[in-house]
Structures are given as C-alpha cells and as structure tokens.
Amino acid sequence: MTRFVLPLLTLGLASVSPAQAQDSAGETNFRDRLPSEEIVYFVLPDRFENGDPSNDRGDFVGDRLETGYDPEHRGFFHGGDLKGLTQRLDYLDRLGVTAIWFAPIFQNKPVQGPEGGESAGYHGYWVTDFTRPDGHFGSRVEFKSFVDAAHARGMKVYMDIITNHTADVIRYAEGDATDYVYRSKGDFPYSRRGGVDGAPVNTGFMGDEDRSAVNFARLTDPSYAYTPVVPADEAESKVPAWLNDPIYYHNRGDTTFTGESSRFGDFAGLDDLFTEHPRVVEGMIEIYGNWIRDFGIDGFRVDTARHVNPEFWQAFVPAMLKTADEAGIPNFHIFGEVYRDTPDNGYIAQYTRRDGFPAVLDFAFAQALRETVGQGKGTHVLTEMFDGDVLYEGGEEAALALPTFLGNHDMGRFSTLVKADRPEIGQEELLARVKLAHAMLLTLRGSPVIYYGDEQGFVGDGNDQAAREDMFPSRTASYNDNDLIGTDATTAQSNFDESHPLFELIAQFSAIRRTNPALSRGRQVVRHYDQEPGIFAVSRFDPDTGEEYLAAFNTSDAERSANIVVGYDARSFDELAGTCPAKVSAPGSAALTLPAFGWAVCRVSEVAE
C-alpha cells in the first residue's frame, strides 16, 4: 500500500519576500527563525552602494592620507555607506537573503601603514571608537534606519565585531630598533621591566592566569616587555576612554600567529587588548551589550576568535545571549571566526566545546568544497568532513547552525580560488563550477553565506584587497580589468543585474530552501560518494513530518550515473531542481543520471505504508 505526500509548495514563492513567507495569519515573526534557517549575505559596506556621496571623506578633511578616501586605490575608502545598503534592501530581498552580515562599521583610524605603504580602514577592522559608525558610513541614526528597514522586510542583521584589538596607536620605545619582534612571557615576565634582569615592577601580581580584579589591581606598569608610547595627538583617540590606557594591552610585540604569540601578540601591529584583564572583559561586554540594546540587532560574527583566551569567551558569549534575551531577541546568533584551511573540522570544533561559541564559521566546509568542486578531489572529502559534525558541542544538530561559505574578503572568492587551482580554465567551465558550488551551499547542512558580488559573477585577482570589488561603478583599474563570469559587464558599471545567471540560481535555491524546512532544519545523511570526482548525494529529512528529500551533485566534468540509497519506503519523487527520477528502481534505491557539474534536488512524494 502506498500513500501520497502533500503537494509541494509552489516555487512561485521565489518572488515572495521572506518577510511575507509566513503563515496566512501572519503570526510568524522573523526572529522566531533558527540560525540554520537564514540565508546570509556578507557585505563590505564601503564596496556595495554609495547612497550619500557627501560622507565619502568621513569626518576628515584633506587629501587621501587624511581622509582615507581614494576610489582609484583598492586599499582606500570608495564611498559605500549605510544609506546605500538601505537603498538596496529590495535587491537583497529578491535574491532570497534573510540575514545581512556586514564588515565592522565602527569608527576607524582612517589611514595606517608605513610611508609609501599606507592603506585605509574601509574594511572596519582598525577601530578607534566602538560606540558609533564610521563617518564614512553614516551616523547612529542612519544605522538605526538600516536595521529597522531590514527588520521590516523580515531580514536579520548580524554585526561583525572585534574584541581582541584596536587600531594601531600604541608604539614601543624599543620597537623601531627591534622591529617589534614578539617578547615572550618567559623572557619578559610581568615582574621585571624589560626582561628577567630588569628592575622589579608590578609587585604582587601573580600573572594573567589569576584573572581576579584583586590580582589585576597589582598590574600597574605596562613596561614589562616593551615601553608603550602613545603619540600625543592620539592620546584620547579611542572610545570608550578606558581604551586609551596602555595597561589594558599586552604590549609584547607582533604575533607570529603561532604558540604564545597567537594570543598575546599584536595582529599586524594592531594594539592587542589584554583580554585576560577583568576590566577588558567588563568593557567589551558593556560595549556590545549596548549595540544589542540600542539597535535590536540579531547576531554577532566575532573576528579573530582564536587569538583570544577561552576564558574571555566563556564570559562574553553568555553575557551577550543574556542581553539579547532580556531585549526580547530570541535565536541571537554568535559565530566565531576560526581560520583553518583544512576540511578536517576538529580544530574549529574545539572552539564550540572549550570556548563556548554556539557556532563557528565553517572553514572546513569551504575547504571541502574547494577540494571537490574546484580541485577535482574525490567526493569522499565531503563525507569525511560531515562525519566530523559529531565533534561540535551539540553534535550534528548544532552543525546545522554553522555558517557555511565558499569564499570571503580574506581568502578570496570561490571563483578566484578555482582559477588559482585551474589556471587554464575557461569562462564557461568556471561558471559551471561556481554554479554547482552555490547549489551545494544552499542545499547542504549549515546556514549558507553568500559573499557579496558572487551573485554578479565577480572574479577577483586574489585575496584580501583583490577580493573586495565595488558593486557600484568602480574607479579601480585592477578591478575593472577583471573578466567576470556569466556577463559581459565589468566592475566599471553598476552590478545589480537580477537576470545574471548566478543571481537567478541563488534566488531559485533560496526559495526552495525557504519553502522546504528539511533543507534548513532537517537531519542530513550522506547517501553516496566516490573516491574520485563524481556524484555526492545526501538525504535530508523534514524535522516535523520526517519526509525525505534527496539532493545529489556531480563534481565531474562528464555525465555520471549511480544508484543512490534512499529510504525503503520511498516510491516516487517530485522535482525541485534538476532532473529527478519519477520513481525508485527498487525499494531502497533510486537511479540518477547527472550532467557534468549538474544536480538534482528531489522530494519523496509517495511512500509505502
């Protein structure tokens, strides 16, 4: 005996706003969505849309070294702002975006770097004032308008935040002579000035492992490793004011990104906060709690999480969740950046267990997609990566909330990574691989993150500054000579084309994901993989009804066929995307044939009883 599953919700919902994709009574609040249900758009405000040219130079006057504004240089401000983001919310809505994560918007030191090698804080990571937006982006009023406009469309807002460093203000008296080399706690203990043979300082201080206020009250002299020097014209440049005191920084020189220096060293010269200090913990909780209370934001992406001691996060994360709860914001999402370019997720998982992060950016997923879709490794890489989901605190269920992505502003765009792995690749194949990767991103477990511009076929020249192109007409030559995929346009034009094949693909899969809870909240089971490029398939199950969905992808450059395991009660399928078989070949098996770089997303429509 067989029974039929209820008909599919129409894919016509692709044109319906996520804010409107509620039940008929309109009772569903956007804040009731779980983190796994979000489709996130990550954007650098400076590079998205210029809604107000009058703020292009921020709060400064003078040339580019004073204002940071130079739209012809990829390392300076280009003019994008909060008004521009607000003006383009309908575009993002039609793309299917349900949450916007943007690079830090806090007031930055406009320009840093040695003479001849200067660049600007357009990216937001050189903060001087943690209490207001950078003048290049707008005001607190304009930020509130942006948040309210996003919420009116049912979109959440995730802020990118920084707790372990500020802008580079503090210098060291001995720094120029030593090239700011890192000075360890063993060679330069807190108890002596300038090394083990130096004069006694900080009498009674028992080291940073005793994090009590009583102990840290005895730390009064910051010149144990280097002698901090604050330029007179920057002595009060940081807000809140307590940030101007060198006692709240490690002052040990530049990190080497390994060992002790990874947590105690200055990140590329940026002033490294003493996050073991109870005043720093208290101060950061106050700073970011106020952003939640004042603006009603929905989550934090936490920068450089692995460069901060676990005890800080063990205090900070619960405090933020408590603040959000008190503000009536359920499902407040906090995810840490723990960079690691390997598909082995054990390293990043430790930050959910020891440090207490609810989620981390899924760098393991990104690397697994690069290796399978970009480099042509076997699809077993994906299976092994998903097997590691049990390592996260909360296991496979918690892994559903991990923000998954393909590329970003640091590592580069997925298209750029594929070109680096395949220097001779043609535009048609590059587009096909990028489309496949996005189809997988929007169907497999996790909360998918679209990197701004990917939906317009952007192809950068590399990572960092080379991956941060303008969406509005660019004046940067190194961007404008890029050969974009799926279009004849260049970055010299405005790129908000809703007929671009990648925009259309992302919008299509976003609609499928939103209208089928199995793809956002459902358990995932790997059904098929190979030791070489070929078919990778999973089943996902509706969390309420148990209904099965089959998603299969071909990472090979040739057609592939396979018999895929499905539930033994499955009998026939409805087609959501690609070409699905009408019915099973036998109980427990479905025959699939996929074109090169193709996919099929199928819903079991008939089951045996």
Evaluate whether 64 touches 30 at the Cβ level (below 8 Å): no
Q: Widest CA span of the chain, in angstroms?
A: 88
SS3 384: helix
Pairing of β 589-594 and β 560-565: antiparallel
Set 70, 81, 266, 303: catalytic member: 303
Tokens encoding 529? 């993989």
DSSP letters spanning 541-563? E-TTT--EEEEEEE-SSS-EEEE
Amino acid at site 137? F
Neighbours of 141 (CB within 10 A): 10
- Clarify whether 470 is annotated catalytic: no
Judge whether 237 and 128 are in contact, CB under 8 Å.
yes
208, 271, 272, 337: which one is catalytic? 337
Query: How would DSSP label each residue in 216-261?
Result: HTT----TTSS-EE--GGGTT-SBSGGGG-GGGB----B--SSTTH
The whole-angstrom separation of Cα 271 and Cα 250 is 8
Measured CA to CA, the distance from residue 518 to residue 514 in angstroms comes to 9
Please confirm, yes or no, whether 303 is among the known catalytic residues.
yes
- Cα separation, 153 vs 85, whole angstroms: 13
DSSP conformation letters of 362-379: -HHHHHHHIIIIIS---T
Strands, E assignment, 373-470: 403-404, 447-451
Sheet holding 403-404, edge to edge: 359-360, 333-336, 299-302, 156-161, 99-102, 40-43, 447-451, 403-404
CB distance 169 to 234 below 8 Å: yes
The answer to whether the CB of 163 falls within 8 A of the CB of 179 is no
Residue 292 backbone dihedrals phi, psi, to 5 degrees: -65, -50
Phi, psi at residue 91, to the nearest 5°? -60, -45
Q: Which residues are catalytic?
A: 303, 337
